[in-house]
């Protein structure tokens, strides 16, 4: 990575690379890049969208300065990690698999045809473990490796997807999919920052922007998650 040429007493500039998850594309990724670019036009921002496994590897290799990822994948060498939010996982479907329920259990899903990520993938691993703990097997209709294909298959009624609520927010708002929370299934989102780049003003400002936007989206109801920032951190991010 090129050294950031900015100093604290002037407008940040230089190069910053961040890893962002596809699940948060509409509720966080897009607004974050838009706001950061508007505030710091001298910074050249590179966004790598990918699942936590892959952005974690790129963070370790020095290809990224920071990454927003599942907290279970964020404990990487030479990084500092802060958990930002907890988000429910939902059953997303175009068909009424459980029309009368506002909260599902994993046992409710034992006969539901599912479209799932293929392993290795953290969400798929969580789904498999949850079924195994009940002595059940998921009814897998199709496996894929991308969020876009999961959503397309769910829209077409091939099966239902188990995903973070944010991943289906746009489809729910357009009445293309329904989303029902699953009891005991949630994920923690964490921000991991390379210690080698934490001193960069451009990186520091991006970290602050991420925290501010997380709070804003949760407080305005645009992201159905729960903040994990402390009261002091929330006050700092709000200022």
Q: Rounded to whole angstroms, what are the CA distances from 22 to 116, 195, 224?
A: 15, 24, 16
Give residue-wise pLDDT tens across range 192-201.
999 999 999 9
Q: Token pair for residue 151?
A: 């959503």
pLDDT band, residue 155 (cuts 50/70/90): very high
Q: Per residue in 115-128, is it b (16+ CB within 10 Å) or e — as a string? A: bbbeeebbbbebbb
Mean pLDDT of the chain: 89
Q: Could you give the CA distance from residue 181 to residue 167 in angstroms, rounded to a whole number?
A: 13
pLDDT band, residue 2 (cuts 50/70/90): very low
What whole-number percentage of the chain has pLDDT above 70? 90
- pTM for this entry: 0.86
Give residue-wise pLDDT tens across range 156-188.
999 999 999 999 999 999 999 999 999 999 999
Give residue-wise pLDDT tens across range 23-80.
999 899 999 999 999 999 999 999 999 988 888 889 989 999 999 999 876 567 888 9
Write down the pLDDT at residue 143.
97
| Region for residue 175 given its phi and psi (left: phi exceeds 0; alpha: psi -120 to 50; beta: otherwise) | left
Write down the pLDDT at residue 53.
83
Q: Token pair for residue 40?
A: 């710091």
pLDDT of residue 208 exceeding 60? yes
Q: Could you give the CA distance from residue 158 to residue 161 in angstroms, rounded to a whole number?
A: 10
* Structural domains in the chain plus CATH codes: 14-86+188-238 (3.40.190.10), 88-187 (3.40.190.10)
Write down the pLDDT at residue 92.
97
Give residue-wise pLDDT tens across range 115-137.
999 998 889 999 999 999 999 99
Q: Would you call 61 exposed, middle or buried from its count of C-beta atoms within 10 A (0-12, 13-18, 19+)?
A: exposed
- Please say whether the beta carbons of 164 and 93 come within 8 A: no
Compute the average pLDDT of residues 141-147: 95
């Amino acid at each position: 990575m090129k050294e950031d040429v900015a100093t604290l007493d002037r407008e940040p500039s230089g190069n910053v690379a961040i890893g962002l998850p596809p699940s948060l594309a509409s509720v966080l990724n897009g607004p974050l890049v838009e706001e950061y670019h508007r505030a710091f036009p001298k910074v050249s921002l590179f966004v790598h969208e990918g699942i936590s496994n892959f952005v974690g590897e790129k963070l370790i290799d020095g290809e990224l300065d920071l990454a927003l990822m599942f907290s279970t994948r964020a404990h990487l060498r030479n990084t500092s990690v802060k958990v930002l939010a907890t988000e429910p996982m939902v059953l997303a479907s175009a068909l009424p698999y459980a029309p009368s329920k506002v909260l599902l259990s994993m046992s409710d899903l034992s006969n539901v045809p599912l479209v799932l990520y293929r392993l290795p993938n953290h969400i798929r691993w969580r789904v498999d473990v949850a079924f195994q703990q009940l002595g059940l097997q998921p009814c897998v209709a199709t496996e894929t490796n991308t969020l876009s294909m999961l959503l397309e298959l769910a829209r077409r009624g091939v099966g239902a997807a188990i995903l973070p609520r944010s991943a289906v927010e746009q489809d729910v708002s357009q009445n293309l999919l329904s989303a029902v929370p699953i009891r005991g299934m949630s994920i923690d989102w964490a921000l991991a920052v390379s210690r080698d780049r934490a001193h960069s003003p451009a990186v520091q400002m991006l970290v602050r922007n991420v925290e501010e936007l997380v709070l804003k989206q949760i407080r305005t109801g645009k992201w159905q998650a729960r903040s994990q920032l402390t009261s002091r951190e929330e006050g700092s991010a709000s200022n």
